[in-house]
């Protein structure tokens, strides 16, 4: 993958991570910001998936044939992450008190949905931790390019790693 | 065209997931239902009727008073830090396990982390 693409991904991933952190603290942001920020996070996730489309297709194709167990595990993890994000955001939209009423839609309050929204967001935190962990070396590699390290040998190793990693 | 198609696929899959969730909810197959949800979090029996009144107005949301975070408040900064710590701990544990596995593994193919077989 080209370096420029890596930077685009890095920026988007960083923004998503920040947005997610804020989304898990509605008390901090207030409900209005919570809802609109999370909705834009949903749009960012779609972008994130579009940018990794070749990975999704190519690994998906050989999921049951020729690939490593790590790769399968990662695929499963990404699938679960997608499910939990979808449930969190969908239940969020359904219990919305700021964004949806603006469109003229109000719904009866549903405790199950509210509870589901909390549970799903907790699970998402867990899965996102795993997602970040799996890409840790990529993230560190990118960070090292921003924060210069003294040892020259290290940055050479990092740039080699960047050429090889991710597809 | 290709882009729109892909976006539609993503949204379509998301839609199926939501339908699935809703189906489970209707079948009462989720571990939670209004009763458990109420007992776990919403012990407010007396005012309940008021909440569930159909056609309630917009303004009534504000006075429900269970937990209100309509206004931004620095009190919530702990929630955010909590998330950061949780993600940090999970990431840390997995990265350490990964290091150990790698150092004991015979074939140390570094960049073949994921994606490449
Ligand atoms: C706040 C949310 C998220 C953050 C911070 C995040 C971060 C990252 C990072 C750092 C990478 C690797 C670097 C790159 O090439 O971009 C990555 C890859 C990837 N992410 Fe995410 N991600 C998030 C949400 C999601 C969600 C919801 C999905 C849905 C399934 C997802 C699916 C993927 C896929 C398929 C890849 C590439 C394949 C792989 O190597 O795993 N991500 N993400
Ligand atoms: C990644 C996405 C999201 C995450 C991680 C998330 C997380 C949370 C959390 C943790 C709470 C509970 C706050 C507390 O009890 O202290 C909450 C409440 C809430 N969220 Fe979200 N949320 C997300 C998306 C959304 C979206 C898209 C909407 C609406 C458009 C939404 C609407 C709400 C509402 C209305 C509440 C208040 C519910 C109540 O009073 O119990 N959320 N969210």
Three-class SS state of B114 = coil
Measured between beta carbons, which residues in chain B are less than 8 angstroms from residue A112? 25, 30, 32-34, 37
Contact A84, A120 (CB under 8 A): yes
Q: Is the pTM of this model over 0.95?
A: no
pLDDT in tens, A65-80: 887 888 889 999 999 9
Q: Please tell me chain A's helix, strand, coil percentages from 3-state DSSP, rounded to the nearest 5.
A: 80, 0, 20
CA–CA dist A140, A18 (Å, integer): 17
Of B17, B37, B78, the CB nearest to A111: B37
Contact A95, B61 (CB under 8 A): no
Q: What is the mean pLDDT of residues A7-36?
A: 93
ipTM over 0.95: no
Contact B79 A28 (CB under 8 A): yes
pLDDT for the residue A133: 94
What does the domain layout of chain B look like in residue ranges? 1-53, 76-117
For B40, left (φ over 0), alpha (ψ -120 to 50), or beta? alpha
Q: With 0-12 CB in 10 A as exposed, 13-18 as middle and 19+ as buried, what is A45? A: buried
pLDDT in tens, A142-160: 998 888 765 555 555 555 5
């Amino acid at each position: 993958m080209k370096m420029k693409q890596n930077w685009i991904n890095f920026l988007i991933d960083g923004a998503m991570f920040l947005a997610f952190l804020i989304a898990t603290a509605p008390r901090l942001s207030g409900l209005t910001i919570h809802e609109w920020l999370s909705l834009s996070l949903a749009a960012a996730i779609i972008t994130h998936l579009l940018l990794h489309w070749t990975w999704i297709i190519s690994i998906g194709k050989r999921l049951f044939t020729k690939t490593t167990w790590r790769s399968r595990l990662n695929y499963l993890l990404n699938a679960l992450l997608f499910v939990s994000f979808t449930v969190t955001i969908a239940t969020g939209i359904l219990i919305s008190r700021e964004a949806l009423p603006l469109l003229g839609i109000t719904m009866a309050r549903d405790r199950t949905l509210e509870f589901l929204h909390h549970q799903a967001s907790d699970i998402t935190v867990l899965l996102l931790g795993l997602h970040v962990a799996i890409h840790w070396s990529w993230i560190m590699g990118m960070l090292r390019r921003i924060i210069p390290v003294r040892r020259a040998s290290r940055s050479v190793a990092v740039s080699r790693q960047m050429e090889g990693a991710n597809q | 065209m290709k882009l729109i198609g892909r976006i539609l696929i993503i949204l379509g899959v998301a839609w199926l997931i939501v339908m699935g969730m809703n189906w489970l909810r209707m079948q009462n197959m989720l571990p939670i239902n209004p009763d458990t949800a109420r007992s776990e979090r919403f012990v407010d029996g007396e005012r309940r009727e008021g909440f569930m009144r159909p056609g309630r107005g917009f303004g009534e949301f504000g006075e429900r008073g269970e937990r209100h975070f309509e206004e931004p408040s620095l009190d919530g900064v702990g929630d955010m830090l909590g998330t950061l710590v949780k993600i940090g701990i999970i990431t840390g544990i997995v990265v350490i396990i990964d290091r150990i596995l790698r150092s004991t593994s015979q074939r140390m193919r570094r960049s073949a982390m994921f994606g490449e077989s």
